[in-house]
Amino acid sequence: MTRPWDGIVPDEDIRRYEAAGFGRPTGFGERPALLIIDVQYRTVGTVRQPYWEALAEFKTSCGDAGWDAVDRIAPLLAGFRAAGHPVLYPHVAPKMGYDSGRLGQKVPAIMNIAERGYDFVEEIKPVDGDILIPKKHPSAFFATPLASYLIDLKVDTLVVTGCSTSGCVRGTVVDGFAYNFRVTVPEECVFDRSQTAHAVNLFDMAYKYADVRPVAEVMALIR
């Protein structure tokens, strides 16, 4: 089976991880929850465009890579809803001047996003009963009630999708792993502005923190 990091992560690196015993599966539990992180128009654009064209609308857009992921998240989301599993939307809330901090220094564009940019993408937007988690930092767990909701819902497995693979997705995966949730990342359902960062972070999560699987396998598990 081909993996997203094939041809990017050297074979020697993979051999070293496997020789050290990394990359064992954590498995899939009985009560999964779907996390859709930051899939807002600011990360994909209001229309499907290549990366450089998308930047003219939102500097934080990942362009068509985001829309490709939306196409794969949509049936996964439908499967979760059909099975009655919880769906949660960790998302960046509008930034205020006092939110700047180090994030505003590292990524100034995030402080000046047009209002429409914060809207959820229509194709996978929340419905009544879904849980919205506004956040100010990469991890969906940091200074939010996410863990409390998951405990109340008796969730044992997180299926993490959205943006960006190397940022908010990775931060959430690492923290979810630290809370002892089983974590699965459907590889076609996460996206980034850098294909290299996307691939390397999927590799690192797969060998340390999560089960990185094709979305078709995740669909079969939730059925």
Q: Which residues are catalytic?
A: 168
Phi/psi at 114 (nearest 5 deg)? -60, 150
SS3 154: coil
Q: Which residues contact 41 (CB under 8 A, 6 or more apart)?
A: 58, 116, 117, 118, 119, 121
For residue 3, with 0-12 CB atoms within 10 Å meaning exposed, 13-18 middle and 19 or more buried, which class applies?
Answer: middle
* Tally of CA atoms within 13 A in the half-sphere of 120 that contains its CB: 18
Distance CA 213, CA 23 (A): 12
Distance CA 19, CA 35 (A): 32
Instruction: Encode 54-79 in three state secondary structure.
Output: HCCCCCCCCCHHHHHHHHHHHHHHHH
Would you say the C-alpha torsion 89, 90, 92, 98 has a positive or negative sign?
positive
Q: How far is CA 218 from the centre of its chain?
A: 15
